[in-house]
Structure 1
Amino acid sequence: MSLTFHWFLPTYGDSRYLVGGGHGVATHTAGGARPATLAYLGQIARSAEQLGFEGALTPTGAWCEDAWLSTAMLAEVTERLKFLVAFRPGLLSPTLGAQMAATYQRHSGGRLLLNVVTGGESHEQRAYGDFLDKNARYARGDEFLQVVRSLWRGERVDFRGEHVRVEGAELTRLPDPVPAIYFGGSSPAAGDVAAEHADVYLTWGEPPQQVAEKVSWIRELAVARGRTPRFGIRLHVISRDTAEQAWAEARRLLDALDPASIERVQRGLSRSESTGQQRMLELHQGSTDDLEIYPNLWAGVGLVRGGAGTALVGSHAEVAERIEEYHALGIDEFVLSGHPHLEEAYWFGEGVLPILERQGLWRHPARAEEPAPAAVPFAGTPQPAS
């Protein structure tokens, strides 16, 4: 299977420095922020499309613009790029969610992918009117997806669960194609929902051994349910012509961080209910020392950012090698980002993707859709008489 690469749309703003936020952490910028205007996000989206990224993840939460509305507008300035829209199922009804997805597919030409996020931190959820605890949110997410899947199959749905109830629900028009469901999480409750519903299970960028354990865990749970999901990983990236240039960029980003800001963010993240977030914190433990936790895997982003906190750092060849290593564990999809997102898309797209293409591991989506060219005779070759 050819590898699939997605980029990221920073709907909270961008910078030449690390931009923090997520998991209830107030957005922090070390300097030089670029506002998340449609014009700038459109630049990133068009560049990602040109370079060969399949889609672009757009985050959800109080720290960023709404993903559904932002990407619907950006669909007008792109042609092929898909949008991996993150959303929280507890904030809308499953019938409305299923209908929104169907509408999105019709108007975008089938370019919607869905990243189901059961919820952020409880204090942020309460701000949106959601007062369930973490385990209950996963139970509700399971019920939500049961209803949505049934509606997408064209069924008329009557459902009475612990958290979700609908009567006579149905769609007049079905999504075509049905959007793939991306789902992540490291807790036992997350594993059960992922195994039951995820088309792609997403993990944050942990060292290969830990990723291998997660892949094995979800695969075993899914097989027991007769399912075979794909697997993806969420990483930042700093790729340059030489390793020295890449690590110099990582040091520049690190040197710009204010120790007081690191302490404040880490203090907030330490209270996170997320098992995945706690695993991210264990990789660096709030220290700016020894941040290369595995060859070419750097935990510096997680000092000021909740959620995905690691980056692949190195020469284009080294980054490609790490991608191959993760692929060997079963990872087929890579959701990447970098600071700033416009420039880093080009560093990766023009530096790493050609290496993977030469190795037969990736092909530009636009070229993959093109029919094979007809044979053209060499100039001067005699042709048979008609």
Structure 2
Amino acid sequence: MQVFWFIPTHGDTRYLGTSDGGRVFDFDYARQIASAVDSLGYEGVLLPTGRSCEDAWVTASSLIGATRNLKFLVAIRPGIASPALTARMASTFDRLSGGRLLINVVTGGDAGELEGDGFFADHAERYAVTDEFLRIWREIFGKSHTGESVDFEGEHLRATGAKLFFPPVQTPYPPLYFGGSSDVARQIAAEQLDVYLTWGEPLADVAEKIADVRTRAAKLGRTLRFGLRLHVIVRETEDEAWRAADSLISKLDDETIARVQAQFAKMDSEGQRRMAALHGGRRDRLVIAPNLWAGVGLVRGGAGTALVGDGPSVAARLREYADLGIDTFILSGYPHLEEAYRFAELVFPHLPRRVREKLGGHGKVSLSGPIGEVMANNIVPQASQS
């Protein structure tokens, strides 16, 4: 399993839907989270994109020097920036970070937000632009290793003499991640992407998506990997975890829920529609599968579900998704700094993960102990017998 965490560039909180317990996002907090998850052994971090967030590229770039192994999953936005420009940005980042860049292709499902960024297109046109964007982007990278340029004439995008003088560390380009539940999104994933992402839906729904995209890719002679994006609320006991879930939405009023859900309903994102349908905006429909809770989606767009439970239970649910073909798990929890530690301490021991070597000449991560505080100068703490 590859386990990623999340950098909350839109701010952090202890309670959804209120400023109580909120934290302003700044560089010091970003560095704390990035440094923590790097040292804890997470493979990478996702940085969100959109007008509600600080810029993902600037934030990720600022954290290269604060980390050693951590990979950064950063978004490119077809229709908002050109393929050649984002190719240069990506290659520069990959070179400066020593090959630690991953690319998240985000088409977007909020027309109002996209229009604010200058991109006016309906759902079908946005994905047509995404398709052409990726064809140009991938070809630029492919030819960067031989010093060639790219000409492209499409229905929506054109390029003449596009060229990347400084190729990336990763060949032919940093891996492309992509999520989308609509038919056209799944087809683009099958044709051009490396990792297909889905939000945390019940097992049967995730299995259907994986099977469909895998079949489409196989017809084209391609294979993909699969990833899952969801939140986690983990405590030492099941009761504690469910109380923490209730606490997360304890200051959230019904008026706010109704207003947010009405806004989501205006979007033409199939994935957002599926998230909203899991709970229907109702507090009494939040447990949608064993340990799977939809409370986050009452007010948060995008990933709206969380695994709730103790360490062994959450690990068991993750292994069930892994059995479907998921190998990358992109997780988050509120607040993100504390929950990164909590998840690593309570769940990592129950997951099949490789021991990562630290870069920069520091050798392997030591797991030989002592783990915990040495007592009275010479007594080493012992593992619990329970």
TM-score, normalised relative to structure 2:
0.90
Distance in 1 (CA, whole Å) between partners of 2:59 and 2:33 is 13
| Aligned position for 2:246 | 251
- Is the aligned partner of 1:92 residue 2:92? no
Which residue of the partner structure matches residue 186 of structure 1?
A: 181
Distance 1:168 1:153, change over 3 A: same
Matched, 1:176 2:169: yes
Contact 1:30/1:256 (8 A) holds in 2: no
Q: Deviations over 1:4-23 (max 9, x none)?
A: 011000001001122xxxxx
Q: Which moved more, 1:201-210 or 1:285-294?
A: 285-294
Indicate if the aligned counterparts of 2:232 and 2:331 stay in contact, CA closer than 8 A.
yes
Q: Quote the residue 1:164 is aligned against.
A: 157
Give the C-alpha shift of residue 87 in structure 1. 2.8
Partner of 1:366: 357
- Quote the residue 1:53 is aligned against: 42
Q: Identity rate of aligned residues, in percent?
A: 53
Q: 2:63 aligns with which of 67, 74, 87?
A: 74
Gaps of 5+ in 1: 19-27, 374-386
Shift of 1:372: 12
Q: Which runs of 5+ in 2 are unaligned?
A: 367-386
Partner amino acid for 1:174? P
Give the alignment's Cα RMSD to 1 decimal: 1.6
1:1-386 map, 5 Å: 3-18=1-16, 28-154=17-143, 155-177=148-170, 178-356=173-351, 361-366=352-357
Cα drift, residue 365 of structure 1: 2.5
Q: 2: CA distance between counterparts of 1:302 and 1:283?
A: 9
> Structure 1 CA distance, aligned partners of 2:175 and 2:71?
11
- The amino acid across from 1:158 in the alignment is D
Distance apart, 1:370 and its partner CA: 5.9
Tell me the CA shift for residue 364 of structure 1.
3.4
Deviates more, 1:318-327 or 1:220-229: 220-229
Paired with 1:372 and 1:335, the residues of 2 have a C-alpha distance of 22
Q: Per-residue deviation at 1:161?
A: 0.3
Q: Distance in 2 between matches of 1:93 and 1:61?
A: 17
1:173: how far off?
A: 1.4
Deviations 1:300-355 (A, max 9, x none): 00001011000000000000000010000011000000000001111111110111
Structure-1-length-normalised TM-score: 0.90
Q: Residues 372, 238 of structure 1: CA spacing in aligned structure 2 closer, same or farther, 3 A cutoff?
A: closer
Distance 1:310 1:166, change over 3 A: same
Hey, what's the Cα distance between the residues in 2 that align with 1:100 and 1:29? 36
What is the CA-CA distance between 1:127 and the residue it aligns to? 0.6
> By how many angstroms is 1:367 displaced?
6.7
Quick check: 235-244 or 255-264, which moved more? 255-264
Q: How many residue pairs get matched?
A: 358
For the residues of structure 1 that align with 2:159 and 2:132, how far apart are their CA atoms?
11
Query: CA shift at 1:371, angstroms?
Result: 7.6
Higher mean alpha-carbon deviation, 259-268 vs 313-322, is at: 259-268
Q: Which amino acid aligns with 1:113?
A: L
Per-residue CA deviation, residues 75-104 of structure 1 (Å, 9 max, x unaligned), is 121111111002312111111111111111
* Whole-angstrom distance in 2 between the partners of 1:207 and 1:267: 24
Structure 1 letter corresponding to 2:205 = Q
1:30 and 1:288 mapped to 2: Cα distance? 21
Matched residue, 1:377? none
Indicate the SS of the match to 1:13.
Answer: coil
Q: Distance in 2 between matches of 1:296 and 1:172?
A: 49
Task: Say which SS state the counterpart of residue 357 (structure 2) adopts.
Answer: helix
Tell me the distance in 2 between the aligned counterparts of 1:79 and 1:35: 25
Determine if contact 1:52/1:366 at 8 Å carries over to the other structure.
no
> Which residue pairs with 2:384 in the alignment?
none
* Structure 1: distance between partners of 2:249 and 2:355: 33
Q: Distance in 1 between matches of 2:291 and 2:94?
A: 38
Q: Distance in 1 between matches of 2:82 and 2:111?
A: 19
Task: Supply the distance in 1 between the matched residues of 2:365 and 2:339 (Cα, whole angstroms).
Answer: 32
Query: SS in structure 2 opposite 1:113?
Result: strand
Q: Read off the aligned partner of 2:116 and give its amino acid letter.
A: A
Taking the aligned partners of 1:42 and 1:99, their CA distance within structure 2 comes to 25
Q: Deviations over 1:197-220 (max 9, x none)?
A: 111100000000000000001001
Q: Secondary structure at the match of 1:289?
A: helix
Could you tell me how far apart the structure 2 residues matched to 1:366 and 1:212 are?
33
